Structure 1
């Protein structure tokens, strides 16, 4: 399930309305992160949940896109995962509890 994403080709940002209950500050932070990623790297950047509720950052580009930074993309994702570790873990817990119905006490110790 896609949480949010940005597309450098269409100059658009997408936020899944199913997550509108997230605080506005978090929504804004995700918006800024996605748009800055595509401005820096190019292509399409998405923040998605796996079936288990883990947050995944993904980037891709059109085959003909010579401006896409295919080396910088994965490096920037690793940097974001480090910088925003707490935010991403909180978003995972939110999804696992409210969308997957898992028990929060068992998840906090992971």
Structure 2
């Protein structure tokens, strides 16, 4: 099983993507995800994605173009750690949602 992108934002083309497979997620949560990803790319630059692995765990993935001298790699790492703490409940809920509805695991 391969990884599944939940959402992504890019500072390069100023676009936001939300995977339509997850339209069942409430609008308020979708908005929170969008704010989180877009604010990251506006502050740090590059591209940020929320990705489910084969076990249903949600990961932040950031990358940048090789010639992007403005991308703040240290700031990216620190901001992701802060988002993981500040948005812990949201991220755990998204993981549970994926595990139950997409991987068919029982609700704990």
TM-score (norm 2): 0.96
The root-mean-square deviation of aligned C-alpha atoms, in Å, is 0.5
Q: For 1:10, which of 2, 13, 32 is the aligned residue?
A: 13
Matched, 1:45 2:35: no
Q: Report the Cα offset of residue 58 of structure 1.
A: 1.1
Q: SS where residue 100 of structure 1 aligns?
A: coil
Instruction: Give the 5 Å matches for 1:11-26.
Output: 11-26=14-29
Q: Distance in 2 between matches of 1:64 and 1:101?
A: 42
Q: Distance in 2 between matches of 1:69 and 1:29?
A: 23
Q: Distance in 2 between matches of 1:36 and 1:3?
A: 17
Q: Report the Cα offset of residue 42 of structure 1.
A: 0.1
Segments of 4+ moved more than 2 angstroms: none
Q: How many residues align?
A: 105
Q: For 1:58, which of 56, 61, 80 is the aligned residue?
A: 61
Q: Report the Cα offset of residue 94 of structure 1.
A: 0.1
Unaligned residue ranges in structure 2 (runs of 5+): none
Q: SS where residue 87 of structure 1 aligns?
A: helix
Q: Distance in 2 between matches of 1:52 and 1:104?
A: 15
Q: Report the Cα offset of residue 59 of structure 1.
A: 0.7
Unaligned residue ranges in structure 1 (runs of 5+): 106-110
Instruction: Give the 5 Å matches for 1:23-102.
Output: 23-102=26-105
